[in-house]
Structure 1
C-alpha cells in the first residue's frame, strides 16, 4: 500500500478471500458521521463521485500499519444494548457534538469480533480498526464512542482484553416491548440462522416466533446482566432516557453543560429515522402483545430483566453500591 496514506478513508468491510483477510475502504474526507448507523453513512459516502471512481482494498495487516503511522483516538466508551431500547437515541445525541466520533454498529467490527483469526492477530486487527475509526479527520475530535450490535455482548470480554480501560454501558428495556418490536419487524439476530453462531444460541427447539424471540431476548439480557455484575458495566433502562443524558450519563460520557444542551438537539426526532418526529409507543406495544407472547417473555426474559433493574437501582454506575436510580 503506497505510503500508507489513508487520511479520510474508513474501513467499511472486512472479509476473507482465498485464505487472506482483506479490508475494503471508503473515502469520507472530513464528513461527520451523523447518521443513525454506520451502514447509512457508508451508503451515503459511496454515492460521492470520488467513490464511484476510486475504491481501495488492502490486506488486514494495513490496519496495524496505519495505526503505527497515524494513531487514532482510543475508544472512550462502548455502548452495548438489548436492541430496540434507546441505544440509538444515546448515540444520536452524542453525534450532535463536534468533538465526538460516533460509530454505530459497524459491520467490520462484528466480523472481526466473531472471526476465527488467531488471538494475537485478531487483537491487532481490532486495535487497528478502532484506530482507523478514531482518526481526527476534521481536527477537532476528542472522543470516540462505539455502539455495537446487540449480539456482540457475547464478545465483550474479547473487546475488554483490547481496551481494558474503556467504560461501557448496557442499555435495555422492558422485554415485552422489545419482543413486540421484533415481531413487528425482526432484527437480524431474531431471524433463525441469519447472523451465524452467537451468544444467543442454545440447543433447545423452539415452538414458534414468540418462543424464539423471547428466548433469545432472555439470553441477551442474561448476558448483559452477567457482564454488568462481573465487569463494572453501567446498566441503563430505556425509561431513563433522554433525561439521564443530562444527569448520570452526562457524567459517564464526561459532557460539560454546553455539550449536554447541544446533545438534546436530537431529542424529539425518531432516533433511527431522524426526519420523523418521535412518539412514545410503550403502551401500544403492551396492548399489542398476545397472551402467548406475554407468557413466553415472562418465562424466558423477565427474571434477567428484574435482576438488571435491581442492579441498576443499587449501583452508582461504577460497580459501587449506593442506592442511586435514574
Structure 2
C-alpha cells in the first residue's frame, strides 16, 4: 500500500465484487466530520470536484496494511443504542470537541461485522478500518468514538474480540416512544427485508406494522440487556440526557471540566437536523400512540425495558451508595 496516496482518504464502502471484498475510498483532506451521520459527511465529500473526478478502490487487505504502516487512534468508546433514543445527541455533543473523532454509524463497519469474511481476516479488516477512521488528520485528535447502527448490538461479541478493552454503552428509551417514532418514519431495521439478516429477525409472521415494530424493538432491548449483563456495558436511559454528559457520561468519556462545558454547545440544536431547535417530544409521542401500538409494545418490549431499568438503577446505587436516585 502506498501510504501517501491514502493520506486524507477515508473508507466509505466495503462490498464484495466477483467473490473478492473491496474497499471504496473518498478524499476528505483535513475536513472534520461534524455531520450527524457518517453517510452525511460522505455525501458532502462526494460533491467536491476532486471526488467526482478521482476515486480509489483497493482490496480489503489494504485495511490491514493501513493499520501496520500508519496506525491511527484506537477506539476510546463504542455507542450502542435502541434507535431514536438520543445516541445522535451524544455523538453530536462529542463532535463539538476538536480532539475527538466521532464516526456515526459508518456503513463499512456494519458491512464487515455482518459479513462472511473468515474470522481472523474480518477482525484484521475491522481493526484496519477503525485505524483509518482514527487518523490524526488535523494533528490534535486524541480520542475516537464510534456509534454503531442499532442492530449491531448483535455483533457486539465480535467487536469485543477485536477491541476487548474499549468501554461501551447501550442507550435506550421507553419503548412506546421509540415505536411511535418508527411508525412516523421507520428506520431501516423497521422495514422488512431492508437490512438483511440481523439479531432482530424471527421466524414467526407478523400481523401489522405495530406488531412488527414492537417485536423487533423487544428483541433489540432484550439483546441490549443480555449484552450489558454479559460484557459489562453501561446502560443509559434517554431520560438522563443531556445532564448525564456533565456527570456519569462525562466520566465514561473521560471529559475534563472545560470539555464538559463545550459539549453543551450542541444541546439546543436538533441532533439529526442541526439547523433546527430541539424540542422534547415524549409527551406528544405518548398521546399519539394508538391502542394497538400500546398493546403490542406492552406485550413484546415492556419486560426487557423494565429489566434494563432495574439493572441501571442497581449499578448507579453500587457506584454511589447512599445517594437517592
1:204 shift after superposition: 1.1
Q: Where does structure 1 lack aligned partners over 5 or more consecutive residues? A: none
1:30 shift after superposition: 0.6
Q: Where does structure 2 lack aligned partners over 5 or more consecutive residues? A: none
| Partners of 2:219 and 2:301 within 8 A in 1 | yes
Question: C-alpha distance in 1, partners of 2:237/2:324?
Answer: 10
Alpha-carbon displacement from aligned partner over 1:227-277 (angstroms, at most 9, x marks no partner)? 111111000000000000000000000000100110000001000000000
TM-score, structure 2 length as denominator?
A: 0.97
Match in the other structure for 1:226 = 226
Alpha-carbon displacement from aligned partner over 1:65-121 (angstroms, at most 9, x marks no partner)? 111110000000000000000000000000000000000000000000000010011
Match in the other structure for 1:83 = 83
| Partners of 1:244 and 1:250 within 8 A in 2 | yes
Match in the other structure for 2:173 = 173
User: Are residues 325 and 158 of structure 1, via their aligned partners in 2, closer, same or farther at CA, if it must alter by over 3 Å?
Assistant: farther
Match in the other structure for 1:42 = 42
Q: Does 1:278 pair with 2:278? A: yes
Match in the other structure for 2:149 = 149
1:203 shift after superposition: 1.0
Question: C-alpha distance in 2, partners of 1:198/1:135?
Answer: 30
| Partners of 1:312 and 1:325 within 8 A in 2 | no
1:323 shift after superposition: 7.5
Question: C-alpha distance in 1, partners of 2:11/2:120?
Answer: 20
1:223-302 aligned at under 5 Å gives the runs: 223-302=223-302
Match in the other structure for 2:27 = 27
Q: Does 1:209 pair with 2:176? A: no
User: Are residues 325 and 172 of structure 1, via their aligned partners in 2, closer, same or farther at CA, if it must alter by over 3 Å?
Assistant: farther
User: Are residues 116 and 3 of structure 1, via their aligned partners in 2, closer, same or farther at CA, if it must alter by over 3 Å?
Assistant: same
In structure 2, the residue corresponding to 1:314 is in which secondary structure? Answer: helix
1:35-114 aligned at under 5 Å gives the runs: 35-114=35-114
Q: How many residues align?
A: 325
Match in the other structure for 1:160 = 160
Question: C-alpha distance in 1, partners of 2:312/2:229?
Answer: 10
| Partners of 2:24 and 2:57 within 8 A in 1 | yes
In structure 1, the residue corresponding to 2:75 is in which secondary structure? Answer: coil
CA RMSD of aligned residues (A): 1.5
Question: C-alpha distance in 1, partners of 2:2/2:169?
Answer: 39
In structure 1, the residue corresponding to 2:303 is in which secondary structure? Answer: helix
1:306 shift after superposition: 0.3
Match in the other structure for 2:184 = 184
1:2 shift after superposition: 3.9
1:5 shift after superposition: 3.4
Q: Does 1:11 pair with 2:30? A: no
In structure 2, the residue corresponding to 1:315 is in which secondary structure? Answer: helix
| Partners of 2:3 and 2:70 within 8 A in 1 | no
Question: C-alpha distance in 2, partners of 1:24/1:101?
Answer: 20
